[in-house]
Chain A
């Protein structure tokens, strides 16, 4: 099929998923040791969505994500060291310690950016698509958002305008089945959120969110449509949040059997199965070991990086500012 990832792309996506998972596991350990600051929203089990979707984008394209966006950051090619440095509030982090793990932005990679107001990334990407249309350039904007965000008013407003104006935007709904503690059945009358696409005059498609190749192919097709001026697409990638809402989640509301069923469909294990014949056990093991070693090294460097110094932001100060 035209949009199927090549073997090289599949191997690269595997490496990026292993990288993301290694970061998440280490963050969990450091949280338990009391070494992290603030809540951290891990994306374990959802790596295929963020990595598959962003790997299908072109270098100049834009993407927005959520408070749970480490897989999108890594998939988009941001450096693990600077992501980790931001999580630990270092001067070398993507925001120099001003943002934290939910607000990472890297304009040079079109990563604009993480957003911790649920739903806000949706009109953000839609506005970038409007900018693309006004300027008449060839970029595409993508937003990766959750089933919780799908229930916001701005989701409706933004999708309506994207469909109306045929904006070059891809709506990638990462359905991980929970909005904080409330299951999707407690947030929407339908279990088929993709059906909403019809109401906005755009195509909608459902993919297995734990199959990175399937996510990539669906995203590539939607990006293609958008770039050709044919308008937006809604992709519902079905996955599952196997860790809690955040490191401060005390749990107790997810069915253990359900969690076990999804853990058995781990996207990294599925990806490895698909690559084993083509790459061989040795090469696959080396890719994984190298990725984990690189994450260890990134943590080492980031944790040795300097802390930021405070300066008052002149443009925000009460009586400062003036024209620029």
Chain B
């Protein structure tokens, strides 16, 4: 085990996969010489000439080009600097990436990875702080992962690059400098579609995504002090969902809280709660509680922004509500 920062573990994943497969290439805005605004691609352009390069600010065409490059023998990894720019990528995802393997009856694979980062909390404002997980998780044929730990960041990105279909990797700007133990060696793969039990508990299950997992852990600490035993599940893969892990946990606790940093209405947490109703209604002793962003733009000033990003206090409050 080596203690690494989240950004370093992503960098290691890219380096290892590029060394392993000459068809992997990495492109995006400011990711070359500068190494990316979050330094995930640091030094890679020197190590892999012609396979790590800066692009113009052209998210729409870049995403479409990544899709067609993937159809024709390469494994592109495209960085979209902020998740807030994802709306610009949507034609390529909705009308291209998710369509052609099906429509052409499997004549082409589309091994394409789109990395982006979302999330608020540091004053980046209404156009640079959103979590738009639902926007990509609704598209059939795409896989969507959202690692929280440095180990999962490495293992899931490597698995995404080796996957033969399109995979969206949702990172979080507040996670890049977090540290954690990462297993040594260049064969760390985390299976796409498997949740992770962060903390076992008996009274209520908290299903969280991305940085909200860290808030859920803090909430579980606070609840423990009150004598409430909360189980925290990091979904890790938003699609395909690990339904077994969800149902197994609810069968034990009979109470569920779902947490996502995106909007509530039509959001990822809404899909989670509907899925729980479909598959675990009979196991529940109380309605599912959702913890999300309020349905509004993200404000800039600290006293405003801090009111809209979901946090441990709101998660604990939701848990108390379902247990009441």
Contact = CB atoms under 8 A, between A and B. Distances in A.
Interface stretch (A2-10, A127-135, A236-244): A127-135
A250 B289 CA distance: 53
A256 interface: no
B243 A131 contact: no
B163 A98 contact: no
Interface string A115-134: 10100101111111011101
B100 A321 contact: no
A98 B56 contact: no
A14 B50 CA distance: 43
Interface in A116-165: 117, 120, 122-128, 130-132, 134-135, 153-154, 157-158, 160-161, 164
A160 B192 contact: no
Contact of A120 (B66, B96, B103): B96
A113 B100 contact: yes
B72 interface: yes
A324 B164 contact: yes
Nearest to B74: A131
Nearest to B91: A117
B285 to A, nearest CB: 24
Contacts of A106: 107
Contacts of B71: 107, 112, 128
A134 B22 CA distance: 9
B67 interface: yes
B99 to A, nearest CB: 8
Interface stretch (B36-44, B57-65, B313-321): B57-65
B68 A157 contact: no
Given A161-B55, A323-B193, A128 B69 contact: yes
Nearest to A98: B103
A103 B102 contact: no
A123 B103 contact: no
Contacts of B64: 120, 123-124, 127, 154, 158
B72 A313 contact: no
B80 to A, nearest CB: 14
B9 to A, nearest CB: 20
Given A105-B103, A112-B108, A134-B69, A123 B192 contact: no
A317 interface: yes
A323 B163 contact: yes
A318 to B, nearest CB: 8
| Band of interface residues on B | 35 or more
A321 B61 CA distance: 27
Interface centre among A64, A105, A315 (most CB of B within 10 A): A315
A117 B192 CA distance: 31
A244 to B, nearest CB: 24
A99 interface: yes
A141 B304 CA distance: 51
Given A157-B58, A164-B56, A323-B191, A131 B69 contact: yes
B56 A123 contact: no
Contact of B107 (A62, A105, A126, A313): A105
A49 interface: no
B141 A316 contact: yes
A125 B191 contact: no
Contact of A161 (B61, B191, B239): B61
B161 to A, nearest CB: 12
B103 A131 contact: no
B23 interface: yes
A189 interface: no
B61 A157 contact: yes
A207 to B, nearest CB: 26
A124 B23 contact: no
A125 B69 CA distance: 9
B61 A134 contact: no
B41 to A, nearest CB: 16
B237 to A, nearest CB: 9
A131 B240 contact: no
A320 interface: yes
A127 B65 contact: yes
A317 B65 contact: no
Interface in B177-218: 191-193
A108 B105 CA distance: 13
A251 interface: no
Contacts of B51: 134
A154 B60 contact: yes
A315 B165 contact: yes
A320 B240 contact: yes
A135 B74 contact: yes
Contacts of B191: 322-323
B87 interface: no
B98 A316 contact: yes
18 contacts: A98-B104, A99-B104, A103-B99, A105-B107, A112-B72, A124-B96, A131-B68, A131-B73, A134-B51, A135-B23, A135-B74, A154-B64, A158-B61, A161-B58, A161-B62, A313-B140, A319-B241, A321-B193
The 7 closest A-B pairs by CB, nearest first: A127-B65, A157-B61, A316-B140, A127-B68, A123-B64, A157-B58, A321-B240
Given A106-B107, A123-B61, 12 more contacts: A105-B107, A120-B92, A120-B95, A123-B92, A128-B68, A131-B69, A153-B60, A157-B56, A157-B60, A161-B56, A313-B102, A318-B240
